[in-house]
Amino acid sequence: MKKQLRQQLIIQAIQTGTIQSQADLVQYLAQQGYQVTQATISRDINELNLIKVATNHGLVYRVAEQKQPATDDQTLRDLFENAHVQLAQQDNLISLQTAPGSGPMVAAALKQLHWSEVFMVMDNDDGVLLILKSEPAAINRIWERLTQLI
């Protein structure tokens, strides 16, 4: 199955249904006559910039809107609220736990801020790890900024 067709079918599935998991996508594609692996679906989800959002049916996949970078406070607040961000800190590490599927989007928004205090932003499906420079003042500034956005 060609990648472009598969990704078009994935978009069609999430626009017409309530796809809650990668297994749902594998099953949907199988019903369309295409056998794919969960690993392939996982790569497609990343490439298509799919996120999970809360609905009356639970968390479902949606296509992330391609807007301007999330650099203003209200946009970040909205993103954090939709992603159900929860903060935790240890030394120069800040963990942002998110709803499943929202980690990459939150990480992308944080990277676009280019905060000088941030050494690295790492993400996975349901979280982001900020590694800050080890200066106590820098750590406090970022913690305060983030807690004001939650």
Residue 56 lies in a domain: yes
Domain match, 84 and 43 both = no
- The pair phi, psi for residue 146, each rounded to 5°, is -70, -40
Terminal C-alpha separation, the chain: 43
Distance CA 83, CA 68 (A): 18
pLDDT per residue as tens digits for the range 85-108: 999 999 999 999 999 888 888 998
Supply the pTM of this predicted model.
Answer: 0.59
Lateral strand order in the sheet of 118-124: 86-90, 93-97, 127-132, 118-124
Domain containing 123 equals 73-149
Residue 131 lies in a domain: yes
CATH number of 9's domain? 1.10.10.10
Domain boundary among 63, 83, 107: 63
Contact 86, 142 (CB under 8 A): no
What total number of domains does the chain contain? 2
Domain match, 90 and 139 both = yes
pLDDT per residue as tens digits for the range 17-47: 788 999 999 999 999 999 999 999 999 988 8
Q: Which amino acid is at 91?
A: D
Residue 68 lies in a domain: no
